[in-house]
Structure 1
Amino acid sequence: MITWRYASVAGRWRLLTGVVVLTGAAWWLVTTGRPGGLWWLGALVGTAELGAWVVIRVLATQPGLLAIDHTPTISPATLDRFFEHGFDAELGWIRKRNTCKKDLGKYPYRIDDRGSRTNPGHEGLPEIIGTYGDSYTFCREVEDQETWQWHLAERFSCQVLNFGVGNHGFDQGLLRLRREYPTAPTPVVVMGVVPSTIARILSVWKHYNEFGNIMAFKPRFRLDGERLELLPNPIDSREKFFELSKHLDDIQRDDYFYERRFRREAFRFPYLASCLANPRGVLLAPAKAVRRLGGAWPGVGRRVSALIDDRLEGGGVRQTAALFADPEAAALLDRLVAELAAEARLHGFWPLVVVMPMREDLDYIRRHCHFYRTAVDRWRSQLDVLDTADALLDLPADTRIYREWHFTPEANRIVGREVGDLLAARVPERVNIAPSSTAGVSHAS
């Protein structure tokens, strides 16, 4: 199977081919008595280098498209906004308490005084379920009464706490659980993650895998033999953001993607060589632009998305699928799942892991294979796991599952139904229903 890991090997072959061609051309010009042609060859190479520099600089104006081999500058104004709206010394970033905003400028949400997303109409009801995880747990791109937690609360006449945070990994969700549970205990705890959580748990500076995400520093766990070691967030104060050079050696050593992806794909002088080594990085930007416009031409957006996910995007679903086959990455995620099970035994709550595929994940499963099913099967030996891909794949073809990047209200309703069915069957006593009235479980063990 061709994976993202082999891109640098192909790049080295392209560079070698370019060097051989240029050397051969220079040798031919000299041996045929046309040394003046070397000036033309030099001018051609110089012009190509200038053109490559211009292309890279233009593409670099779009955040997240290219890796540039330097430490990005963080302005005080940018840092002020980050500290006001998201910074958290332990976890890296969080949804601030007592805040109200509009996601994408049109989907209002409110965070209460405990840091949980508001669940309107269920205030004061027994707090039965606590949910932790990423943006698919937080439920971006919908309003407060359109989350899957809201549907759970309606079904069981209870309050469901929502501590999800966009771009958090399983590791940050686990740390958030340890922080919040003592003051917000619930009989049931749900950890909701996307498949790419396997990449998120390997990052220390997200910029090294999500190019341009320069504010996102985080803690990570590391396996040292059988021992699970926590590496705290290295940039846990305002001052350290302006002293990055002092911390980069440690960050680069501990971040899985610095050597494996960032250094391989970073564009640097000579830029022509960088373009030869990583042409898909150059092609990615216009491909994404075409995808944005694809709605105007039936089928174009879908085909371009497949091209991006399968061929161009180095950090997308191909990377995620490769990591689930990587022993180091898989072992760490398995251990974090085991840690959640251990927390459940310690505190007496019933744990559930819910996996929610992103659009590219579901498309990949349709076209290729279910790349994380083996991992889900392993986790089920320790706790209950609900893979929502099965229910989503069973929907009629015309069902709209995603808005921009996250679930629609209808998809959240389906997730809420699937989670509710599992809870009703597995732990009816914890969600205040009689065992005789439980519903069947769909797509879960």
Structure 2
Amino acid sequence: MNTPDAQRPRSELLRRTVLVLVSVVIGLGLIEIGVRASSWTWLFAWPNYVLDARKVLAERDDGRSVHDDRLGYRPRPGYAAPGITIDGDGLRSTGAAPAGDKPPILAVGDSFTFGEEVGNTESWPADLQRITGRRVLNGGVSGYGFDQIVLRAEALAPLHRPGAIVVAFIADDIRRTEMRRMWSADKPYFDLEGDGLGLRNAPVPPRAPAETTLTFWQRTLGYSYAFDFLMRRLDLLHDWFGDHIRVHPAGLGERISCKLTARLAGLEKSSGAPVLLVAAYDPVVWDDPRFAAEQRRLTEGLLDCARRNGLATLDTYDAQAATPRPRDLYVLWHMNAAGNALMARLIAGALGDKGN
């Protein structure tokens, strides 16, 4: 039987715990008000920052992209914005088509191929067109994983009958093959299936409404300007604002991507167009040696798989490293006109007379 003396320590512990929790809540509240007051504007507006960010992304993507049952999404035919023109086939403009009857070169890849942060004629496919004098079809799509890039090549090659196919990637595209959703957009993915691959999440469902994608913490802490401020300073917004769903453990994407090079070899055989696999690099490679070492390992592994499957490859690292300041080849995240011009020269040299 509990005596009053035995109950007293418990009630005292409960009282102290409540006081601590109340103090913490009041302290956090004062920090929130203080940080908001420093900007003044946010003192009177209390949105959910995560939800707002995802809505803005959805509106942007819905404007320039259309849903695709097999790829997840692709550029919207006929879309136009300052510096960006998408033709009726969903390909980014590379400028006026050169004269001649040689078959075109098909370029596929992610945002580095599409040419984010530069105009139509400053992407590397546009530069490649000027160098070779052959029509180059820019089939790059921002945000694609290596799985989507391969599927895009398989979809475009029969339609355009290219004389050569250039498949470009960065190391992060390998990681993206481990995901079912990237940047709030569902995507296809592959499972290892025996000695091959099995396509999953196809047909790909449409984009989920932003309101349905928030976790408990994003629904609550998403309203905190102080927390948003902290995440920005720590450069952690990628995972906080990003709506990503992983289906494979980290590292499995390397095996999946390796097997996808066998599909590219099959495409080379069925289309008769030689395939060139090109490794590009994001700017952090030139800022962080540890990050660079891992990106190089991933890149070299995929290129080695491609060579074992009989594909031609090109690693642009050494050529970039040989420039006075490799970081000067970028705008913010993607290559600038000079960087894309270098890429085009390297690709033109690697292609040689292939596909004529």
TM-score bin (small chain) = 0.7 to 0.9
Structure 1 CA distance for aligned equivalents of residues 211 and 16 of structure 2: 44
Question: How far did 1:163 drift?
Answer: 0.7
- Structure 1 pair 376/181, CA: closer, same or farther in 2 (3 Å)? closer
In structure 2, which of residues 289, 304, 312 is the aligned counterpart of residue 377 of structure 1?
304
- TM-score of the aligned structures, taking structure 1 as reference length: 0.62
Identity %: 23
Determine the structure 2 residue equivalent to 1:338. 262
Question: How far did 1:375 drift?
Answer: 3.4
Equivalent position SS for 2:328: coil
Kindly provide the CA deviation profile for residues 309-343 of structure 1, in whole angstroms up to 9, marking residues without a partner as x: xxx9779xxxxxxx9982x2211010111111111
- Structure 1 pair 139/403, CA: closer, same or farther in 2 (3 Å)? same
Determine the structure 2 residue equivalent to 1:3. none
- Structure 1 pair 97/83, CA: closer, same or farther in 2 (3 Å)? same
Determine the structure 2 residue equivalent to 1:87. 66
Q: How does 1:77-226 map to 2 (within 5 A)?
A: 82-90=61-69, 91-102=71-82, 108-123=83-98, 125=100, 126-206=102-182, 213-214=183-184, 216-226=185-195
Structure 2 CA distance for aligned equivalents of residues 229 and 218 of structure 1: 14
Equivalent position SS for 1:403: coil
Determine the structure 1 residue equivalent to 2:3. none
- Structure 1 pair 39/270, CA: closer, same or farther in 2 (3 Å)? farther
Determine the structure 2 residue equivalent to 1:430. 355
Determine the structure 2 residue equivalent to 1:305. none
Contact kept, 8 Å, 1:89 with 1:233, in 2: the verdict is no
- Structure 1 pair 268/396, CA: closer, same or farther in 2 (3 Å)? closer
Contact kept, 8 Å, 2:109 with 2:169, in 1: the verdict is yes
Contact kept, 8 Å, 1:198 with 1:324, in 2: the verdict is no
- Structure 1 pair 393/235, CA: closer, same or farther in 2 (3 Å)? same
- Structure 1 pair 156/218, CA: closer, same or farther in 2 (3 Å)? same
Kindly provide the CA deviation profile for residues 89-117 of structure 1, in whole angstroms up to 9, marking residues without a partner as x: 32222111122113xxxxx1211121211
Equivalent position SS for 1:229: strand
Gaps of at least 5 residues in structure 2 are: 1-5, 33-45, 222-226, 241-247
- Structure 1 pair 116/242, CA: closer, same or farther in 2 (3 Å)? closer
Question: How far did 1:232 drift?
Answer: 3.4
Determine the structure 1 residue equivalent to 2:329. 401
- Structure 1 pair 134/82, CA: closer, same or farther in 2 (3 Å)? closer
Determine the structure 1 residue equivalent to 2:320. 392
- TM-score of the aligned structures, taking structure 2 as reference length: 0.75
Contact kept, 8 Å, 1:324 with 1:330, in 2: the verdict is no
Q: Does 1:351 align with 2:275?
A: yes
- Structure 1 pair 355/46, CA: closer, same or farther in 2 (3 Å)? farther
- Structure 1 pair 399/168, CA: closer, same or farther in 2 (3 Å)? closer
Question: How far did 1:31 drift?
Answer: 11
Question: How far did 1:358 drift?
Answer: 0.8
Kindly provide the CA deviation profile for residues 389-427 of structure 1, in whole angstroms up to 9, marking residues without a partner as x: 221111102761111211010000100011111112xxx
Kindly provide the CA deviation profile for residues 283-315 of structure 1, in whole angstroms up to 9, marking residues without a partner as x: 532233xxxxxxxxxxxxxxxxxxx7xxx9779
The range that moved more, 142-151 or 79-88, is 79-88
Structure 2 CA distance for aligned equivalents of residues 231 and 332 of structure 1: 13
Kindly provide the CA deviation profile for residues 19-44 of structure 1, in whole angstroms up to 9, marking residues without a partner as x: xxxxxxxxxxx999695354233221
Structure 2 CA distance for aligned equivalents of residues 392 and 324 of structure 1: 32
Equivalent position SS for 1:386: strand
Question: How far did 1:234 drift?
Answer: 5.6
Query: Structure 2: which amino acid aligns with 1:222?
Result: D
Kindly provide the CA deviation profile for residues 118-139 of structure 1, in whole angstroms up to 9, marking residues without a partner as x: 1213255434310111110111
Structure 1 CA distance for aligned equivalents of residues 15 and 219 of structure 2: 21
Structure 2 CA distance for aligned equivalents of residues 330 and 64 of structure 1: 34
Structure 1 CA distance for aligned equivalents of residues 202 and 194 of structure 2: 22
Query: Structure 2: which amino acid aligns with 1:39?
Result: R
Contact kept, 8 Å, 1:92 with 1:218, in 2: the verdict is yes
Structure 2 CA distance for aligned equivalents of residues 83 and 367 of structure 1: 33
Determine the structure 1 residue equivalent to 2:42. none
Contact kept, 8 Å, 2:178 with 2:253, in 1: the verdict is yes
Determine the structure 1 residue equivalent to 2:38. none
Contact kept, 8 Å, 1:99 with 1:110, in 2: the verdict is yes
Contact kept, 8 Å, 1:324 with 1:375, in 2: the verdict is no
Kindly provide the CA deviation profile for residues 162-204 of structure 1, in whole angstroms up to 9, marking residues without a partner as x: 0111001121122222222212011110111111011211211
Question: How far did 1:267 drift?
Answer: 3.4
